[in-house]
Amino acid sequence: MPDNIVVGGVSVDTRHWIGGERVASDDTFADVSPIDGSVLGEMARGGPAEAVAAVAAAKAAFPAWAATSRAERARILHAIADGVEKRIEELSIVETTDNGALLRSHRRGVIPRVAHNFRFFADWLLKLEHEDFETRGHRNHVSWDPAGPSVLITPWNAPLMLATWKVAPALAAGNTVVLKPAEWSPLTASLLADIAAEAGLPAGVLNVVQGYGSEIGDALTSHPDVRRISFTGSVPTAKRIAESAAGNLTPLSLELGGKSPLLVFADADLDLAVDLAVEQYDNAGQVCLAATRFLVEESVAEEFTRRFVEKAATLTQGDPRDETTDIGPNIHPRQLEKIDAFVQRALAAGARAVIGGHRKDTQYYAPTLLTDVAQDSEIVQEEVFGPVLTLQTFSTEEEAVRLANDTRFGLAATLATGDAERAERVTEQLVAGTVWVNCFFVRDLQAPFGGSRHSGVGREGGTWSFDFYCDVKNTVTAPNGWKNHG
């Protein structure tokens, strides 16, 4: 197996990064581009041995990194951000080739956000504090102690951005990291290891191991030396991780997707509502926060649907490297089969495809909107993770809230209304970690992020990230307890 492959003119190492060194494995797995199904290269396929080695490296590096001053940790994180910014074009090309998301989005927003992740948490670290307070004259002082080696398991839909959303705060907190990227999109994690090393991150502080979760995952999540686990992915996988971590009582942060609603009231700006609705096809529908369930007030449902169909017809689906493309391919033929199976079962059960409802070829699924769907149907209740949306109607505000909350998920919700009082009333009743009112996907890193119900456990972002990646300690000091050594 060659140690490097060339993707879009960029050299990428195919081996793991453990303890500051490249490490090969006896086995490999093929990394396939969703754009055309071509094999980009054979990646090192890790198992229990690589997992144990990576955790050992993280454990060995932890004492020195935890003792590193806040200022020095922040300096190195900013240096990593500098490295990302110097390679935005390379990272964008590799990421698009590897996961099929739009090249223009990577260049203009996603990869710059990677650098911002590091800068934000570096700066937040330097101002992280809780005001001291008194209890019967005693001083309480809150501090954040690094917790230890952290295992971060990341998804394929926004590989580098979502990986660094975890890596940056974990490193800022003083933890060492074992990053396990998704096997369908591992390449930019390998490049991140190079960038971090060039920025001066000490050996063993960041480790990257590749492979299938079924082969390497349990060895990582059940390891007694791992003190934090953060995972973004499916509910079934999260349950396995939780079972694996339970033996060591390892704290977990889980972000598990959703089945989020878009509520459109008759008093909404319909053009805005339609724009928000069409935006849900972003990244070929492979966005955990996507509002895939349209709930539209009956009196405007026909007009909303007409405008939506017209707007959706203007979208261009094709090669994500083309600047004019709006929707790229789905990540993998298996995912495409899963999407189509959902749709065909829904159609067989009586749903109607207003648009789409079929594959375009082996890589692309036609943007789809289904109506005549029952609230208890699979297509309404389960996450599809593709360009498939449903539309239902409601007649009252109470019915809208009931339908919105009637799934096992609770990640996000989007609300379109022209009534500020209604917006406040409805958002207070929605079960969701994030609610957008007359907007979508506006995110600030200082805000809490996470889901309710089966959409996750815990919150990250700003101080919430440090609360998770650290052991938060309160020191209580008695007054006048000091001996006079003067």
Q: Name beta bridge partners: 141.
A: 475
DSSP assignments along 159-216, one per residue: HHHHHHHHHHHHHHTT--EEEE--TTS-HHHHHHHHHHHHTTPPTTSEEE--S-IIII
pLDDT of residue 386: 96
- Tell me: do 20 and 137 sit in the same domain: yes
484 falls in which pLDDT band (50, 70, 90)? low
Q: Is 481 domain-assigned?
A: no
Q: Cβ distance 308 to 348 under 8 Å?
A: no
Q: Percent helix, strand and coil across the chain, each rounded to 5?
A: 40, 20, 35
The DSSP call for residue 11 is: E
Interval 126-146 mean pLDDT: 96
Q: What is the pLDDT of residues 189-229, one digit of tens each?
A: 999 999 999 999 999 999 999 999 999 999 999 999 999 99
pLDDT of residue 481: 74
Q: What are the b/e assignments for 111-143, b being 16+ CB within 10 Å?
A: bbbbbbbbbbbbebbeebeeeeeeeeeeeeeee
Catalytic, out of 288, 383, 460, 470: 288
Domain count of the chain?
2
Average pLDDT, the chain: 96
120: helix, strand or coil = helix
> Is 60 exceeded by the pLDDT of residue 40?
yes
Q: Would residue 255 show up in a list of annotated catalytic residues for this protein?
A: yes
- Tell me: do 369 and 321 sit in the same domain: yes
What is the distance between the alpha carbons of residues 121 and 151, in angstroms, rounded to a whole number? 18
Cα 57 to Cα 72, 190, 205, 237: the distances in Å are 21, 17, 8, 26
Q: Say which residue the tokens 């099929």 belong to.
A: 100
pLDDT of residue 1: 59
- Tell me: do 423 and 459 sit in the same domain: no
Q: What is the pLDDT of residues 348-388, one digit of tens each?
A: 999 999 999 999 988 899 999 999 999 999 999 999 999 99
> Is 60 exceeded by the pLDDT of residue 319?
yes
Of 325, 277, 327, give the one whose Cα is nearest residue 300.
Answer: 277
Q: Is 215 domain-assigned?
A: yes
- Tell me: do 405 and 323 sit in the same domain: yes
> Is 60 exceeded by the pLDDT of residue 486?
no
> Is 80 exceeded by the pLDDT of residue 158?
yes
Size (the chain), residues: 486
- Tell me: do 284 and 251 sit in the same domain: no
> Is 70 exceeded by the pLDDT of residue 62?
yes
Q: Is 370 domain-assigned?
A: yes
- Tell me: do 248 and 306 sit in the same domain: no
CATH number at residue 235: 3.40.605.10
Q: Is 445 domain-assigned?
A: no
> Is 80 exceeded by the pLDDT of residue 232?
yes
Q: Would residue 382 show up in a list of annotated catalytic residues for this protein?
A: no
Catalytic, out of 50, 90, 183, 255: 255
Q: Is 313 domain-assigned?
A: yes
Q: Cβ distance 154 to 182 under 8 Å?
A: yes
14: helix, strand or coil = coil
Interval 158-184 mean pLDDT: 97
Q: Is 374 domain-assigned?
A: yes
> Is 90 exceeded by the pLDDT of residue 403?
yes
Interval 88-116 mean pLDDT: 97
- Tell me: do 132 and 281 sit in the same domain: no
CATH number at residue 293: 3.40.309.10
Q: What is the pLDDT of residues 171-183, one digit of tens each?
A: 999 999 999 999 9
Q: Going by C-beta distance under 8 Å and a sequence separation of 6 or more, which residues neighbour residue 439?
A: 276, 414
Q: Is 443 domain-assigned?
A: no
Domain ranges, residue 376: 261-437
> Is 80 exceeded by the pLDDT of residue 437?
yes
Share of the chain above pLDDT 70, in %: 99
Q: What is the pLDDT of residues 263-298, one digit of tens each?
A: 999 999 999 999 999 999 999 999 999 999 999 999
Q: Going by C-beta distance under 8 Å and a sequence separation of 6 or more, which residues neighbour residue 128?
A: 70, 144, 463, 466
- Tell me: do 406 and 457 sit in the same domain: no
C-alpha angle 454/459/462, rounded to 5°?
160
Interval 450-474 mean pLDDT: 96
- Tell me: do 248 and 269 sit in the same domain: no
- Tell me: do 247 and 356 sit in the same domain: no
- Tell me: do 19 and 63 sit in the same domain: yes
The token duo for 259 is 């089945």
pLDDT of residue 485: 55
> Is 80 exceeded by the pLDDT of residue 2?
no
Cα 135 to Cα 132, 341, 395, 474, 476: the distances in Å are 10, 61, 53, 12, 9
- Tell me: do 70 and 210 sit in the same domain: yes
Q: Is 485 domain-assigned?
A: no
